Structure 1
Amino acid sequence: MATTHEKSQPPTRRWRLIGPGLVVAVTGVGAGDLVATMVAGSRYGYTLLWAAVVGCLIKVALAEATGRWHLATGRTVFDGWRTMGRWTTWYFGIYIVVWGFVYGATAMSASGLPLVALFPDGPSLRFWGALAGVLGLLCVWFNRYAVVEKIMMVFAGLMFVVVVGLAVRVGPDLGALGGGLWPTLPDGSVVYTLGLIGGVGGTITLAAYGYWVTAKGWRGPAWMPMMRLDNRIAYVTTGVFVVAMLVVGAELLHSLDIALTSGDRGLLDLGDVLEERFGPATANFFLFGFFAASFSSVIGVWHGVSLLFTDFVVRTRPDRAGRVALEGDRERSLPFRAYLLWLTFPPMGLLFLDQPIGLVITYGVLGAFFMPFLALTLLWLLNTGQVPLRWRNGRISNLALAGSGVLFLVLCVQQIRDLPW
């Protein structure tokens, strides 16, 4: 028998409801992803454009699978993981605690970098990073998803204007851009290509997509077309960011043989190049976009991953308090706010590392461990009897999830091999 929410139909003007997909996309595309794409352009011109596009398609498949599980079953992805055995609870529980500590410092540092460049005579990176963390905490602590979504939309618009405007300013070679869609592997680019496919817009927040769909009020299979439209528009937007940054790398850096620093600091190098070529106004405009990309990830992670942690806590507590939290307001619950505090204050100690190279390496390895887990567990869950037959995986979904799972396993092994043992 169909439940009430399954009978409800979404409004016909679906474009006005777009939101959760943009939140997950803007959260996932941080400063590091923009640098990775731009460096691809600086090294290989437009040759690896196809790899960035494939990466976006993989994220579409993962986010769609997460949203489909939530809508088709009415259960969360963590609830699904629990049916696979206790190992998933232990894996995810340990992972989300360690990842939150490392990511908190990484995100705050990335948000502080453009502010230091914009205000060179102002406070230190430690101050700006800590301030970004506290502002993210306050934004999520006192607001619900509806307000968080609106804030993320503003950041998405700012990123779009800055990144696309910069690409137009440097002037793309449309012929070469079209040629980059043909799969080609330049010498020495295999590992780098795999990283580009797996890295752009790929974080733990892909698993949070289903929670944001629920927070939006979408419940039941009737919302499946809306979710898919939302997801596709979001990753088309991500694709525009990727293409724009590749254009900047190819036209502004590749032609001049300019190398960037790896990681988020590479965007500061680009700011210097822009100031030299176009003047300080363009450079400052870009730095505001850099801040938008970094700080939007702070807000998105602070909200979405806190929802994931809350679900983990309440579903592993057999007592009455756990059941009450499960049925109540999760955005005001103790686990949600405890994880917010965990993301914000303990990681501030890592900001005092003068050269946190180990932090960056640790964050990269941790990210590599989650994505194969997400892809392969979704592959399993969406082929089981827990999902109504109509909404189980088809051949394309199975191929996309299996292929991305293998890809992320290869990247995970590569990350471990690259560790400075």
Structure 2
Amino acid sequence: MIKKFFKNIGPGPLVAAAFIGPGTVTVCTLAGANFGFALLWAMVLSIIATVVLQEMAARLGIISQKGLSQVIREEIKNPFFERMAILLILSAIVIGNAAYEAGNISGGMLGLQTILGEHIVTFGGLSINFIAVVIGICAFILLYIGSYKVLERVLITLVILMSLAFLATAIITKPDLIEVAKGVFTPRTPSGSILTIIALIGTTVVPYNLFLHTSLVKSKWKSKSDLTYARKDTFIAIVLGGIVSMCIIISASAIQDQSITNAIDLAKGLEPLFGSFAKYFLSIGLFAAGITSAITAPLAAAFVTSGCLGWESNLKSLKFRLVWIFILILGVLFSSIGFKSIEVIKFAQVANGLLLPVIAIFLIWIMNKSSVLDSYVNSKLQNGLGIIVVLIATFLGIKGILSVFNLI
């Protein structure tokens, strides 16, 4: 029974690994530190939205045996709109992932530095963080092996490690369960919380995950009968991933301290109350979050580029490798020379929240084309849920832009 369960684990944990990166840890930490349990409802909303959209992505991948970017390129018949769509997707996903990668490696680096200390190497007048290089090399080796099974096993192990670390930290803080329940079931928008709410949605319902999921799911399953396994895999992994994110908010809520800006500050803040255990749990969790996202972000960028430009989406093909190597090198370079990732991570999460409606509209449009999905097109309920997700994301996005320019 257990063996069969593990055999049918698919890309779900990889999708969870992709959205629980240092960006998620940072945004959830800020949400908890600044607003307590008040924004837990936004996390629940994000989990529901992610399950709805990622199920569509998984179904598209299995039925069409193609990636989302490839299907969009093939289905847009007008050359002008096709080029515009490809430009939008490439700029948003590839350039966005390059920025993310610096944050991912920096996050993993922060986690290790808390335990091991800083290790700076001076090379030709340039100071390079040795830990960032080591994380980059680990990610490079795992991606270069080009085996989906190896990637899957390593990432699942890291996700379990990360989940246990953050869960343990939340339990240590002994939260008030009644207040937690109020935060989960009572939507509130405290003053100054709109951008944080958008960031929570942007860091969970990640547009590049839709492309990653359609590409990975066809590596795991080939038959339409496997849809049941794919749906279970998606639901379980995303709900568990959402619980991990909520644990980070709960942990950060234990200290109402405005000086907390990232997970390492959170670790230091918890240490006087709960001893060094909190620091180690959080550091291990942040390292695992960083390295899993450091692997999935370049991988997603390579899948998106291959689909948009009509290349072969093979983990071992030269063009595919060149894309993820480029993203990985940029990430290592920016993070190792001390590139400040916290503000960039926050900006990227908000940008993701604004980009989401556009990518979601593309996906829903494709999911209603019987020429692509035959009888597996969206039902009225699936379309309804998808449209609700788009409307909420659009509303929050517009409100966020107005907040940035102090118009509301």
Aligned-partner SS, 1:345: helix
1:312 aligned partner: 308
1:163 aligned partner: 166
Amino acid in the other structure paired with 1:259: Q
**2:67–2:215 contact (8 Å) kept in structure 1:** yes
**Does residue 331 in structure 1 map to residue 315 in structure 2?**
yes
How big is each residue's C-alpha offset from its partner over 1:61-100, in whole Å with a ceiling of 9 and x where there is no partner?
Answer: 1111111112223332122211124122222233344224
Moved more, 331-340 or 363-372: 363-372
Q: Could you tell me the TM-score, scaled by structure 1's length?
A: 0.83
**Does residue 379 in structure 1 map to residue 364 in structure 2?**
yes
**Does residue 60 in structure 1 map to residue 51 in structure 2?**
yes
Question: CA–CA distance in 1 between the matches of 2:247 and 2:235?
Answer: 18
1:150 to 144, 148, 153: 153
1:9 aligned partner: none
1:345 aligned partner: 329
Offset, 1:14: 4.7
Residues 1-400 of structure 1 aligned to structure 2 (within 5 Å): 13-14=4-5, 16-82=7-73, 83-84=75-76, 85-86=81-82, 87-123=84-120, 126-188=129-191, 189-200=193-204, 202-216=206-220, 218-250=221-253, 252-253=254-255, 257-262=256-261, 266-313=262-309, 315=310, 325=312, 330-351=314-335, 352=337, 355=340, 359-360=344-345, 363-364=348-349, 366-368=351-353, 370-388=355-373, 390-400=375-385
Moved more, 336-345 or 300-309: 300-309
Offset, 1:267: 0.5
2:393 aligned partner: 408
Amino acid in the other structure paired with 2:280: N
Question: CA–CA distance in 2 between the matches of 1:150 and 1:214?
Answer: 17
Count of residue pairs brought into register by the alignment: 389
Question: CA–CA distance in 2 between the matches of 1:194 and 1:101?
Answer: 21
Question: CA–CA distance in 2 between the matches of 1:34 and 1:346?
Answer: 22
Runs of 4+ residues deviating >6 angstroms: none
Structure 2: gaps (5+ residues)? 122-127
Aligned-partner SS, 2:129: helix
**1:29–1:201 contact (8 Å) kept in structure 2:** no
Question: CA–CA distance in 2 between the matches of 1:13 and 1:42?
Answer: 41
Cα 1:118–1:68 change in 2 (3 A) is same
**1:39–1:260 contact (8 Å) kept in structure 2:** no
Question: CA–CA distance in 1 between the matches of 2:342 and 2:32?
Answer: 24
Aligned-partner SS, 2:222: coil
